[in-house]
Amino acid sequence: MNTNKCPHCKNTITTVKTEDITMTVGMGKPAWKGFSHACPSCHSVLNVEVNPLAVQGEVLDAIAKLRRG
């Protein structure tokens, strides 16, 4: 249920802090570009998501590379 309150500090959230991040896999190898969303009061991470535009660009680059041979 969405209450507009941070689950950690219980402050009302009207905006979130969004930051570009690089998600990693395994031993810290970069895997995806993404976003993290944090509470502006306590800075707890509320959500992390993959940046769909970055993924799209990587897929298009890979396809172009395959077409070139």
pLDDT digits (tens, 9 = 90+) for 18-32: 999 988 877 777 778
Specify the higher pLDDT residue, 55 or 15: 15
**pLDDT of 60 above 70:** yes
Cα gap 64→69, rounded to integer Å: 9
* 50 DSSP β-pair partners: 34
**pLDDT of 1 above 70:** no
Residue 17's alpha-carbon distances to 29, 40, 41, 46, in angstroms, are 25, 6, 9, 10
pLDDT tens, 33-47? 899 999 999 999 999
Cα gap 55→63, rounded to integer Å: 12
Domain limits, the chain: 17-68
Q: According to the model, what pLDDT value does residue 52 have?
A: 86
Cα gap 6→56, rounded to integer Å: 32
